[in-house]
Amino acid sequence: GNIAGNTADRGGGVYGFTCTLFICGGSIIGNTAQENGGGVSNTNGEILISDTASIARNRAGDAGGGVHIFSGTLEIGKDCSITGNTANKGGGLYTHGSDFEMSGGSITGNISELGGGVYLYHIGARNPGSITSGSITGNTATNGGGMYINPQSPCSITVSGDSITGNTATNGGGIYVEEGEAFTLNGPGSVTGNEAENGGGIYVNGGAFNTDASAAISSNTANNGGGIYIGCNGSHTIKG
């Protein structure tokens, strides 16, 4: 089935509260939210997107052009796609204080001021992030073409495969890390082939940024910091 051309303050296509939304096929396309979740929004619940589901060309005035979740769990897998969505924060998706797991699918061609593909806010030990398969590619933003990460407590995200590639931004073509608590990028995946003016692969806006020995940041391009750009009072530690 299709959910198309709808408008709301929150959840242009679908809004859930303290529930589980299974999106396993069909399309959520061309919906608009004045605030959050152009395609889908859920509060205190779960969103599971898989199989051939398509969330495309939705728009949010604030956060989560395609998908928005607050204080819950978001899982993306198999052959689903989140494509061509727009928002101020998180063109493809936005999570706030939520678990995020991507085990397949694609987040492609989304546009945002902050986090063209993905915006993760307030991730930490209790709200981990992992990308074990799938791709975040061809997204565009001012800060964080592929991902924008705003860590409010020490946290880490695990990336496997060539997951974050071909994104563009002014700052942080692949990933933009906002100033805050320590953030660690775990491998064995790579951030590769991204472009930016500053920080082709990763831009660290202060704070402590760590990479483990298996993480690869390669073949990115920029005017300043092809691989990594470390901002004022920031630090980078490679852990072996």
Q: For residue 14, what pLDDT band results from cuts at 50, 70 and 90?
A: very high
Question: 126 Cβ partners below 8 Å, 6+ apart?
Answer: none
SS percent in the chain: helix, strand, coil, step 5: 0, 60, 40
Residue-wise pLDDT for 97-138, tens only, equals 999 999 999 999 999 999 999 999 987 656 668 888 999 999
How far is Cα 231 from Cα 203, in angstroms, rounded to an integer?
A: 7
pTM above 0.75, yes or no: yes
For the cut 70, the answer to whether the pLDDT of residue 240 exceeds it is no
What pLDDT does 126 receive? 64
Residue pair 98/130 in contact by the 8 Å Cβ criterion: no
